[in-house]
Amino acid sequence: MNSRHIVNIHRWKWITTPFVFLSFGFSSWVFAGEGGGRVTVVYAHESNIAIFATETHTNMPACSQSGNEWALSLATTAGRAQYALLLSAAAQGKQVTVSGRNDCTAWGDRETPSYILVKY
């Protein structure tokens, strides 16, 4: 190999490396669960957890074993904001869109949402 080929290889290495790391970083979100429709159940657990159900929940991770239910932690600012949004949507009969995190960190058998969307 001559020096020109080596320079080209190094150039490609610097161009492709960030994309490889980005793809690994977002891979869990790519395969995360999705849900939506009306909120059919909302309950707060004594362990600072809120559990809710939507009409649909697809592509859920293997750890999520409870049908259309999701769980979020009320110990975090994001979790409290999501909980307030859920209560508002449920009270008004609005439909929600939920995107999961592909994990069950809040409650062992329910997917944790990454975000919740309500259109008013």
pLDDT, tens digit (0-9, with 9 covering 90-100), for 11-46: 555 554 444 344 444 444 467 999 999 999 999 999
Q: In this structure, are residues 35 and 54 in contact, taking their beta carbons and an 8 Å threshold? A: yes
Q: Are residues 52 and 94 in the same domain?
A: yes
**Residue 19: predicted pLDDT:** 44
Q: Are residues 21 and 41 in the same domain?
A: no
Q: Are residues 19 and 42 in the same domain?
A: no
Q: Are residues 18 and 38 in the same domain?
A: no
Q: Are residues 40 and 84 in the same domain?
A: yes
Q: Are residues 20 and 53 in the same domain?
A: no
Count: domains in the chain = 2
**Residue 10: domain span:** 1-28
Q: Are residues 42 and 100 in the same domain?
A: yes
Tokens matching residue 13: 């290495």
**Residue 100: predicted pLDDT:** 98
Of the CA atoms within 13 Å of residue 77, those in its CB half-sphere come to 0
**Whole-model pTM?**
0.75
The DSSP result for 34-60, as a single string, is EEEEEEEEEEEETTTEEEEEEEEEES-
**Residue 31: predicted pLDDT:** 72
Q: Are residues 100 and 71 in the same domain?
A: yes
CA distance 86 to 17: 40
**Residue 4: predicted pLDDT:** 63
Low-confidence ranges of the chain (pLDDT < 70): 1-30
